[in-house]
Amino acid sequence: MPETNTINVTHQTGKYMLHVGADILSDLPKFLEDIDAVGPVGIITNGKVNDLFGTALREGLKAAGIVTRTILIPDGEKFKTLASAEQVMSALIAQGMERSGTIITLGGGVTTDLGGFVASILYRGIKLVHIPTTLLAMVDAAVGGKTGVNHVSGKNLIGSFYQPELVVMDVNTLTSLDQRDLVSGYAEMLKMGAIRDREYLDLLVARMDELLNSSGTAKWIQVISRSCELKAEVVEADEKEVDLRRILNFGHTLGHAIETTLGYGQIRHGEAVILGMYGAGWLSNQVGQLSQAEWDELSGILVKIPIPIALYDLDIDAVEQATRVDKKVANSKLHFVLLKELGTAETQADIPVLMIKLAVEAVKRAWKETP
């Protein structure tokens, strides 16, 4: 059996354990005991994930004497709203959730973000456990304490910082994913390498084909664990995104704007981040410090990743406008994350509007032959 990696994540008010392994969902009762999760347990998930993993999870908890209640939410980014959060809270209250209780999120990033937001505000905060079942959620939404819901004006504009008590990642859940789901998670890992660890970036590139065409094996434990370690280092240094943590937004300024402009459901989050990284990398070379050689290397990597989205009709002006309501606007200035070199990032404000539009044009041009 593959070895389980355990990562200690510290934050301003405490710490938690993050477990990455195969066949470790059966250990959940022990993990819950370790965090003194003695109250009611509410599982927030969607119908598909519940059918795949919910029954076994509940049976394992029941055998350990833990009674659960399950709240099903619709699947999809467009349902990650304040209205959905209120419905979930109403259901939890009706089912007897208490201040001493625990919320378990079981699913992808939508479930993790929405469930985490609910846990942060219900009874002014209750225990939170994340069980991410997608690669993207494992390396992004489940680590770092960001929770949130979308607003009609943009993605994740409403939310809070709220740390979990425990995160459990079972790589066997990845067998349920298609390649586009794997690409989405791979994009976030690639981002971590690009901004923080050149050797990790090289490892991911060398294993791109292997990773994007397989799932649920021990090979995932190593790369997921390293991505989580890198993110944890940044979060520990800057939990509330005052300074260093901003570098985690590499590719996300344009990525979120593209995602909003195309419409949720038209493009996966990780696919949008790949496009956003291309645009940010182009800017890094044009107005930042990234050398031409390293930009050629990065752009060559990004265009190899399969993204089955046509960008012919992407409105450049609309994307630029969407960046203006992004969370990364501070003091009326949009802060872009650029690369100084592969493995090192910095933030830069006052990028000219024309350059932002030209970056989007560069993205469209790079993917002009996408079917």
Per-residue pLDDT tens over the stretch 175-194: 989 999 999 999 999 999 99
Reported as a single tens digit per residue, the pLDDT across 135-168 is 999 999 888 888 999 888 877 889 999 999 999 9
Separation of alpha carbons 223 and 230, rounded Å: 11
276-285 confidence digits (pLDDT tens): 999 999 999 9
Q: Which of 13, 9, 21 is nearest to 230 (CA)?
A: 9
- DSSP lists the bridge partners of residue 150 as none
pLDDT digits (tens, 9 = 90+) for 294-327: 999 999 999 999 888 888 889 999 999 999 876 5
Contact 268, 157 (CB under 8 A): no
- Half-sphere exposure for 268 (CA within 13 Å, toward CB): 24
Which pLDDT score is estimated for 69? 95
**H or E segment to which residue 141 belongs:** none
pTM of the model: 0.90
pLDDT at 39: 82
List, in order of start, the domains of the chain with CATH numbers.
Answer: 5-176 (3.40.50.1970), 179-214+250-366 (1.20.1090.10)
Of 190-199, 231-240, 301-310, 360-369, the one with minimum mean pLDDT is 231-240
pLDDT averaged over every residue in the chain: 91
The percent of residues in the chain predicted with pLDDT above 90, rounded, is: 73
- Where residue 370 falls among pLDDT bands split at 50, 70, 90? very low
Q: What's CA 251's distance to the chain center, in Å? A: 13
What is the b/e burial string over 344-358, where b = at least 16 CB atoms within 10 angstroms of the residue's CB? Answer: ebbbbeebeeeebeb
- Does the structure show a pLDDT above 80 at 330? no
Tell me how far CA of residue 105 lies from CA of 2, 8, 166, 167, 358, in angstroms.
24, 20, 11, 10, 40
Task: Give the span between the Cα atoms of 26 and 170, in whole angstroms.
Answer: 10
